[in-house]
Amino acid sequence: MVTITIDGIEYEAREGQTVLDVAKENNIPIPSLCHHEALKPWGACRMCVVELNGKIMASCTLPVAKDQNIKTKSELVKTVRKVVLNLLLARCPHSKTIQQLARLYGITKTTLKADEGRDNCILCNVCTRVCAQLGSSAIATVKRGSEKEIGTPFGEKPPDCIGCLSCARNCPTETIKFEETDAGRIIWNKSFEMAECSICKAKTVLTKEQVVFFAKKSGLPEEYFAKCDECARKETAETFAQLVINPGAHIMKAWGFTFGKLEAKAITASPVLPQKFERS
Amino acid sequence: MRFSNTKDLGTRIESAKAARQKVKRRLLVCAGTGCIANGSLEIADALQKELDARGVKLNVELSLKKTGCHGFCEHGPLVTFHPEEIFYQRVNAKDAAEIVEKTVLKGEVIDRLLYTDPTTKQKVTKYFDIPFYAKQQRVVLANCGQIDPAAIDDYFAVGGYSALKKVLEEKNPEGVISAVEEAGLRGRGGGGFTTGKKWRICRGQTSDKKYLICNGDEGDPGAFMDRSIMEGDPHAVLEGMMIGAYAIGANEGVIYVRHEYPLAVKHLEKAIADARACGILGENILGSNFSFDVSISRGGGAFVCGEETALLNSVMGETGEPRPRPPYPAVEGLWGKPTIINNVETLANVPTIINKGAKWFNGLGFKNSHGTKVFSLVGKVRNTGLVEVPMGATLRDIIFGIGGGILNDRPFKAVQTGGPSGGCIPASALDLPIDYETLTENGSMMGSGGMIVMDDRTCMVDVAKYFIKFLMGESCGKCVPCREGLRQMSYILENITEGKGKPEDIERIRELSVGILNGSLCALGQTAVNPVLSTLKYFENEYHAHIKDHKCPGGVCKPLITYGITDKCTGCTVCARACPVNCISGEKKKLHLIDQKKCTKCGACFSSCRFDAIEVK
């Protein structure tokens, strides 16, 4: 444990935490746009900046250290955040997320040249990082500098996209558009069909590509993932019922699980879960 | 010729030295990139042919060599003849016969090929009598232009690898670090961090693997000191790397060279292969426990990859974007292992420090900046090229001493140091000593050593706009202040230079600068506003002239200037004939007139007039 000071108050922090982690735990408001709890710190939006010994640092990438004296409300911090918001508001003047955040800092309209024709992407890279962390890396940034944008390989339908919508659902400015019907989805111009339930043949909430991807990643059979809500619920209920009737048998089968009617082989790979970033 | 111990290497160095002393006459053809582009390889071939035709055999007494860059590329192709130190410039393959006939065989000097001092208008025969060279102190560039970079024996002959020998024989890693620390060597690539201190941090890390990277991704427009060193003295870079690796405990090295430097890559590859064959590079170097090998990684031509963390990502095959620090590369760098990244010039200094001693190096320089620094002198000066001076020399020494003053004797206005993200320093600071701190205090920086000289016909707002646009194009686009801030900054500057600036723009620039300077992720953004802030500091009146008076004092910004003809006009009609849109009228021997409506402000009349009769307002 280390003790750090934030705005004059001492806080206990664990080694390996970032200043932003500590601030969040203690309800100290630090705004951030590119930070995502499930992803490695990125340090790009520069909204979470704080002052340390007169220097501006991004709190999301700043590891805690003994006797750190952090200021989150200094004039310099406010100025930098205001400039960042002014710039983002000029980039995407119609983004509700940016408008709301800017209003907190007293900015209602950008004083700079506004880009009216652009979408609301702020290039926080949450979409590309989520996609990479989930294992697809179907999208990435293309070009550089002020021309940088999020794109697919060669601007075509992304071959590796499994239509999981993680990019769109995690986008802080809701810029990534997708269409969803009972039968399928369209995202990044690529159409996806929903997988059929392996039991009742109804449409599931996963795309066919997702089922294949999950099965490959986990080592479990595709049928395990391809289930509609109803069948999945029914199966869970059956499993629970058997647990209550004969708990011993299930504990015995601990790692050789029986799931409903399907016998899965030993789980070799754990399902891909977002791992909390830890600095070594 | 694989050396199994340091003694064998020592013997070889001595014999190579002795062989070099036996050479009585040396004909050296510069084969740096600049001279090659001007046909120096053809000259070398022609010289060889002429020698053959006359039955002159190259032997221990006469040698013909292709060397690295001399730094005076403006006057290339260069051919020098030693020991007389005859310096021929702008040589052509057709001159080969005459050079062999007169100079090589008879020892005569060919006047036509000599350099003319632009100040005295006198022909200069000898290399070191040329003011451009006479006022330099060449330490890092000492071998460039003197040895054949593709021959390891040439490097041995000038005492090459004796520093490595000394280190392996006499010093432990700690001793090497102490020596470099005591010498006071600081990074020559931009930051100016103390090299010894950096090495010590890395040495203190416990890891199964450590890396040493040589940063040869020289990206500053007009700067070519690192290229010249890699091309002209590749073994010095390798030797520096080996000593550094020995000190920090690394056994793998990478030289990151930008893609646009094919000759540097070729020479480095040859040097690596030769060093490996000699047992100087590889497993158990010279029979010691120290193993180290080097590979070359070619960059894709992104300015930002000169930033060390972006460079690491690039080597690893990822997008060339900087990483947040901490962790610093010395702790967590290439592939997550402790890594030292040193600039080419920094590493090339290391063998000299070991050979001549830390005290010697420390004695050169000024305050906390020691040794020499290579600058790339370009712009409106008479002599442009690579110049090496001790730290603490003044800007005046370089620009007026070595550079020979401003072109066409125009008044000096400013000098931009440190590359695109450096600052512009005005005439009032010409006598300040050049060291890391003084340059920073005056709104600029040492950077990698770019030096762009500007005369009175330079618009400082236009200069700021140029550099901001360059940096905007080279920004990786990861962090908001740099990506968006530089774009907005360029809009504002564009408006000002087009006469659409508003008085509040100055305040807007200052406010943006605070955000970009403090908020950016890496040094590219943090220093990008230097050109704007320094021009605002020293030339704010020019900004006001553009905004309030709609005038460009430098006479550069087209929308704000008009060309006129004064009564100095003799009616020679040259301007009227030069004008591409035929907007100049007037009879012979009578005052001419410019039709402002048709004028495109191309400046053709201005440059063609021989009577200084065209004025820009």
Per residue in B128-137, pLDDT tens?
Answer: 899 999 999 9
ipTM of the complex: 0.88
* Token pair for B373: 């620094």
Element (DSSP H or E) covering residue A22: helix A19-25
- CA distance linking residue B211 with residue B218, whole number of Å: 20
Helices (H) and strands (E) in chain A, counts: 9, 13
Give A279's pLDDT tier (boundaries 50, 70, 90). very low
Instruction: Give one word for A135, left, alpha or beta, with left for phi > 0 and alpha for psi -120 to 50.
Output: left
Which residue among B508, B512, B521 sits closest to A43, beta carbon to beta carbon? B521
Q: Is the pLDDT confidence value at A239 over 90?
A: no
Which residue among A111, A146, A279 sits closest to B508, beta carbon to beta carbon? A111
Indicate yes or no: CB of A145 within 8 angstroms of CB of B476.
yes
Whole-number pLDDT of residue B24: 85
Q: Which residues of chain A lie closer than 8 angstroms to B487, CB-CB?
A: 146
Whole-number pLDDT of residue B487: 96
Mean pLDDT, all residues of chain A: 88
Indicate yes or no: CB of B481 within 8 angstroms of CB of A91.
no
Q: Which residues of chain B lie closer than 8 angstroms to A112, CB-CB?
A: 488, 491, 508, 512
A174-207 pLDDT tens trace = 999 999 987 899 999 999 999 999 999 999 999 9
Indicate yes or no: CB of A83 within 8 angstroms of CB of B516.
yes
Mean pLDDT, all residues of chain B: 93
- CA distance linking residue B489 with residue B469, whole number of Å: 9
Q: Tell me the mean pLDDT in the region B599-613.
A: 90
- For residues A62 and A22, the answer to whether their CB atoms sit within 8 Å is no
Q: Which residues of chain A lie closer than 8 angstroms to B472, CB-CB?
A: 145-146
Burial class from Cβ neighbours inside 10 Å (0-12, 13-18, 19+) for residue B18 reads exposed
- For residues A259 and A239, the answer to whether their CB atoms sit within 8 Å is yes
Q: Does B478 touch chain A (CB under 8 A)?
A: yes
Report the C-alpha dihedral over residues B328, A61, B482, A39, rounded to 10 degrees: 120
The phi and psi torsions of A187 (rounded to 5 degrees) equal -145, 145
Q: Which residues of chain A lie closer than 8 angstroms to B508, CB-CB?
A: 111-112
Nearest chain A residue to B510 by CA distance is A83
Close Cβ partners of A8 (under 8 Å, ≥ 6 residues apart): none
Indicate yes or no: CB of B319 within 8 angstroms of CB of A61.
no
Buried b (16+ CB within 10 A) or exposed e, B250-265: bbbbbbbbbeebebbb
- For residues B435 and B395, the answer to whether their CB atoms sit within 8 Å is no
Q: Tell me the mean pLDDT in the region B90-103.
A: 92
Q: Does B397 touch chain A (CB under 8 A)?
A: no
First CA to last CA across chain A, in angstroms? 16
Q: Tell me the mean pLDDT in the region B212-241.
A: 94
- CA distance linking residue B192 with residue B436, whole number of Å: 7
B554-585 pLDDT tens trace = 989 999 999 999 999 999 999 999 999 999 99
Q: Is the pLDDT confidence value at B141 over 80?
A: yes
Give the residue from A120, A226, A213, A123 showing the smallest Cα distance to A161: A213
Dihedral sign for Cα atoms in the order A78, A84, A88, A91: positive
Length of chain B: 617
Indicate yes or no: CB of A122 within 8 angstroms of CB of B480.
yes
- CA distance linking residue A129 with residue B118, whole number of Å: 59
Whole-number pLDDT of residue B577: 92
- For residues B398 and B377, the answer to whether their CB atoms sit within 8 Å is yes
* Token pair for B351: 């063998």
**Pairing relationship of beta strands A69-71 and A2-6 according to DSSP bridges:** parallel
Q: Name the residue with tokens 């030292």.
A: B340
Q: Does A140 touch chain B (CB under 8 A)?
A: yes
- CA distance linking residue A35 with residue A126, whole number of Å: 8
Q: Does B330 touch chain A (CB under 8 A)?
A: no
Dihedral sign for Cα atoms in the order A10, A11, A14, A16: negative
**How distant is the Cα of B376 from the closest Cα of chain A, in angstroms?**
27
Indicate yes or no: CB of B487 within 8 angstroms of CB of A82.
no
C-beta atoms surrounding B74 within 10 Å: 15
Give A277's pLDDT tier (boundaries 50, 70, 90). very low
Indicate yes or no: CB of A43 within 8 angstroms of CB of B475.
no
Domains and CATH numbers, chain A: 2-104 (3.10.20.740), 126-227 (no CATH), 231-279 (no CATH)
Whole-number pLDDT of residue A255: 47
Going by the DSSP 8-state scheme, the letter that residue B103 receives in this structure is I
Q: Is the pLDDT confidence value at A271 over 60?
A: no
Q: Does A132 touch chain B (CB under 8 A)?
A: no
Domains and CATH numbers, chain B: 17-125 (3.40.30.10), 160-361 (3.40.50.11540), 366-455 (3.10.20.600), 460-547 (1.20.1440.230), 562-616 (3.30.70.20)
**How distant is the Cα of A216 from the closest Cα of chain B, in angstroms?**
25
- For residues B605 and B563, the answer to whether their CB atoms sit within 8 Å is yes
Percent over 90 (pLDDT), chain B: 83
The phi and psi torsions of B500 (rounded to 5 degrees) equal -105, 15
What Å distances lie between residue A99 and A104, A119, B484, B489, CA to CA? 9, 14, 17, 22
Q: Does B486 touch chain A (CB under 8 A)?
A: yes
Q: Does B154 touch chain A (CB under 8 A)?
A: no
Interface test with B, best of A146, A149, A173, A280 (most B CBs within 10 A): A146
3-state helix, strand, coil in chain B (%, to 5): 45, 15, 40
Which residue among A47, A86, A144 sits closest to B477, beta carbon to beta carbon? A144
Q: Is the pLDDT confidence value at A162 over 70?
A: yes
- For residues B278 and B182, the answer to whether their CB atoms sit within 8 Å is no
B428-444 pLDDT tens trace = 999 999 999 999 999 88
Nearest chain A residue to B495 by CA distance is A113
Q: Tell me the mean pLDDT in the region B187-192.
A: 87
Q: Does A52 touch chain B (CB under 8 A)?
A: no
Nearest chain A residue to B336 by CA distance is A280
Instruction: Give one word for B257, left, alpha or beta, with left for phi > 0 and alpha for psi -120 to 50.
Output: beta
- CA distance linking residue A16 with residue A1, whole number of Å: 10
Nearest chain B residue to A79 by CA distance is B515
Q: Which residues of chain A lie closer than 8 angstroms to B507, CB-CB?
A: none
Q: Does B474 touch chain A (CB under 8 A)?
A: yes
Indicate yes or no: CB of B491 within 8 angstroms of CB of A112.
yes
Helices (H) and strands (E) in chain B, counts: 25, 21
**Pairing relationship of beta strands A262-263 and B62-67 according to DSSP bridges:** unpaired
B478-491 pLDDT tens trace = 999 999 999 999 99
- CA distance linking residue A146 with residue B481, whole number of Å: 11
- CA distance linking residue B449 with residue B426, whole number of Å: 17
Q: Tell me the mean pLDDT in the region B450-475.
A: 94
Q: Name the residue with tokens 């160095």.
A: B13
Interface test with B, best of A62, A91, A112 (most B CBs within 10 A): A112
- CA distance linking residue B543 with residue B64, whole number of Å: 55
Give A251's pLDDT tier (boundaries 50, 70, 90). low
- For residues B278 and B155, the answer to whether their CB atoms sit within 8 Å is no
* Token pair for B470: 């360059």
Instruction: Give one word for A50, left, alpha or beta, with left for phi > 0 and alpha for psi -120 to 50.
Output: beta
Whole-number pLDDT of residue A262: 43
**How distant is the Cα of B508 from the closest Cα of chain A, in angstroms?**
8
A32-48 pLDDT tens trace = 999 999 999 999 999 99
A69-99 pLDDT tens trace = 999 999 999 999 999 999 999 999 999 999 9
* Token pair for B590: 């009578």
**How distant is the Cα of B313 from the closest Cα of chain A, in angstroms?**
14
Q: Tell me the mean pLDDT in the region B407-423.
A: 91
Comparing B313-317, B447-451, B510-514, B516-520, the range with the smallest average pLDDT is B447-451
Report the C-alpha dihedral over residues B186, B189, B190, B191, rounded to 10 degrees: -40
Q: Does B483 touch chain A (CB under 8 A)?
A: yes
- CA distance linking residue B277 with residue A52, whole number of Å: 51
Comparing A95-99, A250-254, B281-285, the range with the smallest average pLDDT is A250-254
Question: What is this structure's pTM?
Answer: 0.89
Q: Does B314 touch chain A (CB under 8 A)?
A: no
C-beta atoms surrounding A218 within 10 Å: 17
- CA distance linking residue B606 with residue B151, whole number of Å: 51
Distance of CA A230 to the CA centre of its chain: 28
Whole-number pLDDT of residue B82: 87
- For residues B152 and B278, the answer to whether their CB atoms sit within 8 Å is yes
Indicate yes or no: CB of B486 within 8 angstroms of CB of A146.
yes
Give the residue from B497, B489, B492, B469 showing the smallest Cα distance to B558: B497
- For residues B224 and B257, the answer to whether their CB atoms sit within 8 Å is no
Dihedral sign for Cα atoms in the order B338, B344, B346, B348: positive
* Token pair for A245: 């009737």
Whole-number pLDDT of residue A256: 52
Q: Is the pLDDT confidence value at A252 over 80?
A: no
Whole-number pLDDT of residue A185: 95
Q: Is the pLDDT confidence value at A280 over 60?
A: no
- For residues B584 and B600, the answer to whether their CB atoms sit within 8 Å is no
Q: Is the pLDDT confidence value at B419 over 90?
A: no
Q: Tell me the mean pLDDT in the region B170-180.
A: 94
Q: Tell me the mean pLDDT in the region B367-372.
A: 92
Whole-number pLDDT of residue B542: 95
Q: Report helix angle B480-497 to B460-474, nearest 10.
A: 150
